[in-house]
Amino acid sequence: MKINSIKLQNFRSYKELEVSFGDKNIIVGENTQGKTNLLEAIYLTSVGKSFRSKEADMVLWDEDHFRIEGSVENGHPQKIEYIYEKNVGKNGRKTVKINGAKKPASALLGGFACVFFTPDEIDMFFAFPSLRRRHLNILLSKINREYSRELIKYARVLEQRNAQLKVIIKGNGKERDLEIWDGRLAEHGAQIIKERAGLVKKINKTLAANYKKVARDDKELIVKYEPSISLPSVIPARQGSGKHPAGNHKNPTKDDIWAAFLEKLLESRRRDMAVGATNVGPHRDDVKIYLSGRDITTFGSRGEHRSAIVALKLSEIDIIKDAIGETPVLLMDDVFSELDEKRRENLVKAFEGQQTIVTTTDLDHITEELREGATIFEAKNSKIKRI
């Protein structure tokens, strides 16, 4: 997996930009010089969504569109075009082309793959369950296009069920009108929960070893998926204690989850009708991380948080490589400034073997091992030049 070059037009701070990449790439520059903008553009060509905002915010000031062209390799050369027109329709118009042919944005998933890592993720990941769910969703969509379709279907049914709840609240509908939406929501939600549970199991196969590799620490790191639907004999239900439950739970079938989901919807119906929203389902699930049996969100230090995120990224690379047979491109946005010298060295060793694009405010933050043989660029005044 490789990105050879990228061209930007009217994207964020860039009027025009073209950059060609080597195997190891370091972009150095002060803050607000456009380093993160470049990584964001690369990320868009991989997943079709930004990690920080909507497309309308990415258009250069006083312009009405942006254009990204990426030349990538995923077993074979590909040209990816991503165009957004701000003033077309209510929400703008997005056009994606792969080798000249128009495709839905979801077609990017499973193609050119990259893994993105920024220090901002540390605080956000541990603060918001929605971002932990998003992490699972993006990773699953990269390795399973059907999963992204299920997410879309689920979101549509959820919106329709919530609309029906509001109709009932106004006195214009009956409780029985929810039955059709309950069945459909349970059908799509069951597949999402099953896939998430399977992914967490895969993450845990390598997570503890990856944590030791980065932190040089014998503490055990484990991820626990906490669905809002209790399946005690299959997936452990949410628990109030800080200790993670023992493993060896039987893998659930889709029918197991469907039945439990439907039962939970029925139990929650009165509450749902009172507030006009669906209170159970994959949109309410959580993912927790435990270090030596303690919730790292509550008990972990800043350094342990950093190492845990890096370990997760390593496991993500392992899973993508196993699924598609290619090693994803690694994007790291000013990561090294957040790490001490020993963790920097461990990180470089852990991430060997794939194309890497790193940004930094100071070359002294980059290890000599990473700088050796690297292509180095300077970001200044919304321009990026090789130095």
List the one residue out of 284, 310, 329 whose CA is nearest residue 122.
310
CA dist., res. 295 & res. 290, Å (int): 5
Beta strands in 101-236 (DSSP E): 101-103, 114-117, 221-226
List the strands of the sheet with 14-20, edge to edge.
14-20, 2-11, 65-73, 77-85, 93-98, 101-103
**pTM exceeds 0.95 for this model:** no
List the one residue out of 361, 357, 362, 306 whose CA is nearest residue 3.
357
Domain ranges of the chain: 1-113+326-387, 121-325
- What integer pLDDT is reported at residue 42 of this predicted model? 96
- What integer pLDDT is reported at residue 75 of this predicted model? 81
- Other C-beta atoms within 10 Å of 52: how many? 13
- What integer pLDDT is reported at residue 240 of this predicted model? 45
Distances (CA, A) of 214 to 92, 154, 235, 346, 371: 43, 37, 29, 5, 19
CA dihedral 81, 87, 89, 90 (to 10 degrees): 110
pLDDT in tens, the chain (387 residues): 999 999 999 999 999 999 999 999 999 999 989 999 999 999 999 988 887 788 999 999 999 999 999 999 988 899 999 999 999 988 899 999 999 999 998 889 878 999 998 877 777 677 888 889 988 999 999 899 899 999 999 999 999 999 999 999 999 989 999 999 999 999 999 999 999 999 999 999 999 999 998 888 889 999 999 999 986 454 444 544 444 444 445 677 899 999 999 999 999 999 999 999 999 999 999 999 999 999 998 888 888 888 898 899 999 999 999 998 889 999 999 888 877 788 788 888 877 888 999 999 999 889 888 888 899 999 998 899 998
- What integer pLDDT is reported at residue 237 of this predicted model? 47
- What integer pLDDT is reported at residue 238 of this predicted model? 52
DSSP reduced 3-state for 110 = coil
- What integer pLDDT is reported at residue 233 of this predicted model? 54
> One fold for both 1-113+326-387 and 121-325?
no
CA dihedral 79, 85, 90, 95 (to 10 degrees): -10
Cα–Cα–Cα angle for 326, 363, 209, nearest 5°?
40
Task: Tell me which residue has tokens 């139990």.
Answer: 267
CA dist., res. 211 & res. 289, Å (int): 12
CATH class of the domain comprising 121-325: mainly alpha
Do 217 and 211 meet the contact criterion of CB atoms below 8 Å apart?
A: yes
Burial of 215 (0-12, 13-18, 19+ CB in 10 A): buried
CA dist., res. 3 & res. 327, Å (int): 12
Superfamily of domain 1-113+326-387: P-loop containing nucleotide triphosphate hydrolases (3.40.50.300)
* DSSP β-ladder status, 329-333 and 356-360: parallel
- What integer pLDDT is reported at residue 368 of this predicted model? 87
